[in-house]
A and B are shown apart, each in its own frame.
Chain A
C-alpha cells in the first residue's frame, strides 16, 4: 500500500485529518514530570536517566510504528535517506506536528541527522548546571563511549560537569530506534546537540548498524 504523494503532503494530510489532538501543555508537563521523577529516582545519575528514557522511547516506538503504518499507509522506503525523510516529514509531523530537517547524510548513506529548530518537549525547561554539557565538549556515539563512560562511573566520579549530561528529550531517540527495529533496521539514535545545553539547534544523529535480514517478512526483498 504505497502512496505516490510527496512525503510532505502525506504528513500534513495525515496530521490534519486522522490524528486526534491533545493539549500540548498537558503533554509537555507530563513528560517533564516523568523526567524529573526519573532524575530523583536515580539520584541525579544522568547516564541512567538517559538510558531509561531511551528504553521507554523504545517501548513506545515498537508500538507506535503500527499506527504510523496504518494511518500513513506507507510502504517500504528505497534507501536510508528516504527513511530519514519519512521519519521527519511524516512520522514526526503526525505525532508531534514537528518537521525536522534531514541533514548531514553520510557518504555511505548509512547515517543522517535530524535537525529540530524547536523542541516542544523542552519549551519551558531549564536544566540544572550539573545536567548540562560543558561548552566545547564533543559528543561521541554512545556505543563507542560506553566503555569509557563505564570506567568513569565506576571510578566513583560524582555528578559534575564531567559526568554524562542529561539529554532531556532522549525518549525521542528511543522512539526512532524502536520504530525502525520493527521495520527490520537496527539503528543507533543519539543527540549531538541540544538547545538546553546552550547549543543553537537540537540535532539527533541516526546511524544504521545493520539490516535484520532474517526478520524481513516473506515476499519483501
Chain B
C-alpha cells in the first residue's frame, strides 16, 4: 500500500506532503516541516558518519508498521515514499512518482522550482497512481 509521499527540496524544505488512506496519523503543518528538515539533516549526517566511505544518505527506513524509501535525485530533490511493510517493487513506484513530478510539476511554467508544489494535475495523477497501486 502506498501510504504517503513527501518531497523535500535542495535546502531541506518540505515542498509537498500527501497522505493516502487513513493509516498515517495527521500532524500539524509545522510538525511536517520540522520532520522534513530533520530528515534532510539526518540523511546528510548518515552519509558522513557511515563506516563505509562513499556512502549515500539514508535510503530506506524499515519499521514494523511502515517502510520509508528515500530517493535523492542528482539535482538534490528527495522523494520520501511511505509504504506498508512488505510492499513489492518500491523502486518502480518511486520511479513513477519521479516521472509524474518531471511531467506535471517541472513542466508547469508557472511553477517555481524549490517552492511548494501546488499543481492540480500532479495531485490528480498521483491519486490515479495510488488507486492503481493500492
**Residues of chain A at the chain B interface (Cβ within 8 Å):** 1, 62-67, 69-71, 73, 75-76, 182-183, 215, 217-221
User: Which residues from B are CB-within-8-Å of A219?
Assistant: 43-44, 46-47, 55-57, 72
B55 and A66 form a contact (CB under 8 A): no
Beyond A70-B95, A217-B10, 19 additional pairs, beta carbon < 8 A:
A62-B113, A63-B107, A63-B113, A66-B106, A67-B102, A67-B106, A70-B101, A75-B74, A182-B75, A183-B75, A218-B44, A218-B47, A218-B57, A218-B72, A219-B44, A219-B47, A219-B57, A219-B72, A220-B56
Contact partners of B98 in chain A: CB under 8 A:
66, 69-70
Closest B residue, CB atoms, query A217:
B76
A217 contacts across to B, CB distance below 8 A: 10, 57, 72-76
Chain A residues with CB under 8 A of B103? 67
Per the bound structure, the CA–CA distance linking A134 and B94 in Å amounts to: 52
Q: Could you say which residues of chain B place their CB within 8 Å of the CB of A63?
A: 106-107, 113
Identify which of A62, A67, A71, A183 contacts B74 (C-beta below 8 A): A183
CA distance A67 to B95 in the complex (A): 11
Given contacts A63-B113, A219-B56, A220-B56, contact A71 B47 (CB under 8 A): no
Does B99 interact with chain A (Cβ within 8 Å)?
yes
Instruction: Report Cα–Cα, A218/B8, bound state, in Å.
Output: 13
Give me 18 A-to-B residue pairs in the complex whose CB atoms sit less than 8 angstroms apart, sorted by A's number.
Answer: A1-B71, A1-B91, A64-B106, A65-B75, A66-B73, A66-B101, A67-B102, A69-B102, A70-B99, A70-B102, A183-B74, A217-B57, A217-B74, A218-B44, A218-B48, A218-B57, A219-B43, A219-B44
Complex interface: chain B residues within 8 A of A75 (CB) = 74
B73 to chain A, nearest CB (A): 6
A125 to chain B, nearest CB (A): 25
Instruction: Find chain B residues with CB under 8 A from A76 CB.
Output: 74
A215-B10, A218-B44, A219-B57 known; A69 and B73 CB under 8 Å? Answer: yes
Chain B: interface residue count, which band? 20 to 34
Our pick among B72, B76, B95, B113 for the contact of A73 (Cβ within 8 Å) is: B95
Q: A63-B107, A63-B113, A70-B95 are in contact. Are A215 and B102 (CB under 8 A)?
A: no
B51 interfacial contact with A, CB 8 Å: no
Instruction: Report the separation of the CA atoms of residues A79 and B98 in the bound assembly, to the nearest whole angstrom.
Output: 25
**How far, in whole Å, are A218 and B45 apart by their CA atoms in the complex?**
8
| Minimum distance in angstroms from A61 CB to a CB of chain B | 11
B107 touches A215 (CB 8 A): no
Complex Cα gap A182–B46 (Å): 23
Query: What's the Cα separation between A64 and B73 when bound, in Å?
Result: 13
- B114 → chain A, closest Cβ, in Å? 10
A64 partner residues in chain B, CB cutoff 8 A: 106
Say whether A215 contacts B76, CB under 8 Å: yes
Q: Which residues from A are CB-within-8-Å of B73?
A: 66, 69, 217
Q: How far apart sit A41 and B47, CA to CA, in the bound complex (Å)?
A: 51
- Alpha-carbon separation in the docked complex, A91 to B43 (Å): 30
Residues of chain B with a CB closer than 8 A to A183's CB:
74-75
Residues 16-61 of B at the A interface (beta carbon under 8 Å) = 43-44, 46-48, 54-57
A189 CA / B29 CA spacing, docked (Å)? 43
Cβ distance B49 to chain A, nearest Cβ, rounded Å: 11
